[in-house]
């Protein structure tokens, strides 16, 4: 009996994410299965059992009448769930140690950058200016992580190990040794009130859209050693209101921001964020995952499904993540 086809609907990214590269990987990783890269390859829609996608055009997945599962090639599924005709089959997202470690590197790098006043030191070097500033210890800084899922929890634990005072905020209450945990709407204000560096690792959902706004910034701690609160957003651009970030930087509500994700990507050339002296911009590469690891993960999920085992990391359509 022939195996059901795997359709690939992948919007290109860097060279390593080129759709043709994904086709090669899946052909190697799924021997004996027809792998069709759409729209280039021809495939009978009735033969398609699985789809592996990255930002697929809305409406395309509804064309497969016998689809059994959709595999999103990243951790965040907001782009897929935005399709109103998305078939009601399990949607699996990526949760992978390689991705988690990369995100923790990013968060640690940027929290340390703000804590160790690295932007000031870079500028001093440019001016050949030898002027060390008072440097406080990590335990003087309160880091607050929005989202204590796969990524947020790992970053929180590493930052706590370095010595920061770390708290996290999630939808449901949690107990994590060494991390002060807050949850739900009622937990948000007290979480923000004790936070000097706010790291956002939330998914983009109806509830979280625009959460990084003027109101949130105004609730952050104002008595910290950094001279003002700092934000680091590596979740999704839709979580932040860029107009409010710029206004908050300019009126002193925020001291600095590191942004990996943006309302519009690529960040338009004319965005004032590019050249703002207190903004660090990175091009949505906080946790570029190894595509070989992802294609192996998808092949393993298909094998589990066909072996009668449950798929892992299935998205809850109700909560949106």
The binding site for ligand NDP (CB under 6 A) comprises 74-76, 95, 99, 103, 147-152, 169-172, 201-205, 207-208, 234-236, 260-261, 284, 286-287, 321
* Lookup: tokens for 247: 């206004």
Choosing from 48, 53, 69, 75, the residue that interacts with ligand OXD (CB under 6 A) is 75
- DSSP 3-state of 170: strand
**CB-CB neighbours of 227 under 10 Å:** 12
Minimum distance, C-beta of residue 99 to ligand NDP, in the bound complex (Å): 6
Minimum distance, C-beta of residue 265 to ligand OXD, in the bound complex (Å): 10
Q: Interface mask (CB under 6 A) for ligand OXD, residues 269-288, using x and -?
A: ------------------x-
Instruction: Report the partner that residue 321 touches, choosing among ligand OXD, ligand NDP, none (CB closer than 5 to 8 A by kind).
Output: ligand NDP
Judge contact between 263 and 238, C-beta under 8 A.
yes
Distance CA 68, CA 185 (A): 36
**Within 13 Å of residue 58, how many CA atoms lie on the same side as its CB?**
7
- DSSP 3-state of 165: strand
Instruction: Report the partner that residue 81 touches, choosing among ligand OXD, ligand NDP, none (CB closer than 5 to 8 A by kind).
Output: none
Q: Does 152 interact with ligand OXD (rule: CB under 6 A)? A: no
**Within 13 Å of residue 196, how many CA atoms lie on the same side as its CB?**
19
Minimum distance, C-beta of residue 235 to ligand OXD, in the bound complex (Å): 9
Per annotation, catalytic residue among 60, 209, 278, 284: 284
Per annotation, catalytic residue among 236, 305, 317, 318: 236
Closer by beta carbon to ligand OXD, 48 or else 99: 99
State the virtual CA torsion across 197, 203, 207, 210 in degrees, nearest 10.
50
Does the annotation mark 236 as catalytic?
Answer: yes
Taking CB under 6 A as the binding criterion, the range among 6-14, 74-82, 157-165, 218-226 that sits at the site for ligand OXD is: 74-82
Which position has the token pair 């989202």? 147
Distance CA 236, CA 92 (A): 18
Does the annotation mark 284 as catalytic?
Answer: yes
Q: Does 254 interact with ligand OXD (rule: CB under 6 A)? A: no
Distance CA 211, CA 18 (A): 32
Is 321 exposed, middle or buried (CB count within 10 Å of its CB: 0-12, 13-18, 19+)?
A: buried
Task: Catalog residues that contact ligand OXD under the rule CB under 6 A.
Answer: 74-76, 94, 99, 287, 289
Would you please indicate which residues are annotated as catalytic (active-site) residues?
236, 284
């Amino acid at each position: 009996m022939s195996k059901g086809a795997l359709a690939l609907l992948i919007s290109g990214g860097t060279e390593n994410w080129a759709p043709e590269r994904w086709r090669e990987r899946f052909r190697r990783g799924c021997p004996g299965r027809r792998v069709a890269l759409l729209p280039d390859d021809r495939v009978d829609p009735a033969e398609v059992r699985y789809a592996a996608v990255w930002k697929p055009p809305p409406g395309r997945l509804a064309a497969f009448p016998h689809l059994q599962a959709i595999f999103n090639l990243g951790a965040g599924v907001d782009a897929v769930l935005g399709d109103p005709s998305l078939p009601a089959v399990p949607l699996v997202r990526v949760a992978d140690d390689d991705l988690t470690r990369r995100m923790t590197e990013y968060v640690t790098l940027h929290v340390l950058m703000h804590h160790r006043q690295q932007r000031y030191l870079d500028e001093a070097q440019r001016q050949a200016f030898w002027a060390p500033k008072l440097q406080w210890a990590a335990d003087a800084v309160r880091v607050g992580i929005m989202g204590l899922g796969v990524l947020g929890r790992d970053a929180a634990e590493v930052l706590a190990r370095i010595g920061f005072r770390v708290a996290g905020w999630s939808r449901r209450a949690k107990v994590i040794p060494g991390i002060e945990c807050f949850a739900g709407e009622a937990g948000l204000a007290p979480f923000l009130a004790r936070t000097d560096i706010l790291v956002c690792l939330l998914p983009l959902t109806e509830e979280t859209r625009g959460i990084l706004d003027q109101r949130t910034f105004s609730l952050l701690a104002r008595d910290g050693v950094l001279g003002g609160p700092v934000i680091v957003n590596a979740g999704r651009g839709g979580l932040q209101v860029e107009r409010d970030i710029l206004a908050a930087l300019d009126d002193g509500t925020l001291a600095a921001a590191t942004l990996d994700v943006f309302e519009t990507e690529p960040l338009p050339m004319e965005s004032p964020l590019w050249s703002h002296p207190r903004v660090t911009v990175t091009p949505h590469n906080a946790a570029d995952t190894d595509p070989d690891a992802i294609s192996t993960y998808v092949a393993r999920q298909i094998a589990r499904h066909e072996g009668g085992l449950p798929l892992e990391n299935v998205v809850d359509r109700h909560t949106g993540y």
